[in-house]
Amino acid sequence: MAGVHDFTCYLKRGFARGTVQASLDVRNGLLSRRQGFELAAAKDCERPHSLDYFLEATGLTEDEFFEIMRKKRVAQLVDVELVVGKQSTAHPEPLVPYPQQIQSVSDNLSE
């Protein structure tokens, strides 16, 4: 659930993996500071595909999930409306969570 973890960091703290990775790349001279800000702004707010599986596994609705995350925000973000967007790039193959992959293999072996 790495994607969900990173997304919850964004919802609670205002930054996620895009910011962390961009910061490393700026410090290592791979990106300019401006490029780092652009990358972080574009990627941090993306809703991960794995959130659907997480919601299914936990039984939460999306509204319940976002309400829980809103309550966990740091004080500086309490009154800030965070933008949540769709992922900008699609994966070349459907993403299936590991437990479902194991179940699928198990079902195929028993047939």
Encode pLDDT of 65-86 as tens digits.
999 999 999 888 888 888 788 8
For the chain, where are the alpha helices, taking DSSP H only? 2-13, 17-27, 33-43, 50-58, 62-71, 98-110
Closest CA to 54 of 6, 97, 109, 105: 97
Question: What is the pTM for the complete model shown?
Answer: 0.72
Question: What residue segments make up the domains of the chain, in order of their start?
Answer: 2-87+94-110
Average pLDDT over all residues of the chain: 86
Tell me the chain's radius of gyration from C-alpha atoms: 17
Task: Give residue 55's pLDDT band: very low, low, confident or very high (50, 70, 90).
Answer: very high
